[in-house]
Amino acid sequence: MAAPPPRRANLPAVRKRRPSFAGMALPENAIGWAAFAAAGTVLIGGLWLGQSSIVAAWPPAARLYNIVGLGGLAEEAPGAGLEIPALSPRIEMDAGTPVLVLEGTVINKSGHTITLPTLLANLRDDRNVVVESWTFRTDVERLSAGASASFRTRKERPPERVRHVDVVFANAAAN
């Protein structure tokens, strides 16, 4: 008598389930790529949305943002957070030559350290038209939050038609 055939379980075959989206089967590596893309998006979004905080904490980051083409968001107007509360102009004579002397103070009103931009002195006539201007720098390169820096600049033989004087923060592109 022949041996009976081995008994087999009469169970249906279990197929390995593959991830699907709306009934479409996705390749097995698609989930890994999707996770990678999501992590990258979160990282880039954080760098973009936190740009001002990052630049405030580490000012050289502004240059990196400019390199990758996101500099417009990081850049602020020259002198943002800085103030020149008062300006003291006076004329002195130096060996018979009139010299306009401008003295003032720059105060950092922001909550972080700022690199001081170049200052621009404007001499204006009675119609407020700039008749002469020049740029100068303070002795201090960086100013801590709440700190101040004095400046002093001189102009020999200022035009006689000057009626108003102001000092503003120069645009870096204009220097």
Joined tokens for residue 92? 């002195």
Can you give the residue range of the structural domain that contains 155? Answer: 82-174
pTM here?
0.56
Decide which of 58, 74, 90 is a domain's last residue.
74
**Domain count within the chain:** 2
Same domain, 92 and 170: yes
Average pLDDT of the residues of the chain: 81
Residue 150 CB partners (closer than 8 Å, separation 6+): 103, 104, 105, 138, 139
pLDDT digits (tens, 9 = 90+) for 26-61: 566 777 777 888 888 888 777 777 777 777 677 777
Q: Using CA atoms, how far apart are residues 25 and 42, in angstroms rounded to an integer?
A: 26
Same domain, 133 and 160: yes
pLDDT digits (tens, 9 = 90+) for 115-132: 899 999 999 999 999 999
Q: For residue 156, report the phi and psi dihedrals to the nearest 5 degrees.
A: -75, 145
How many helices (H) and strands (E) in the chain? Answer: 4, 11
pLDDT digits (tens, 9 = 90+) for 45-54: 777 777 777 7
Same domain, 70 and 105: no
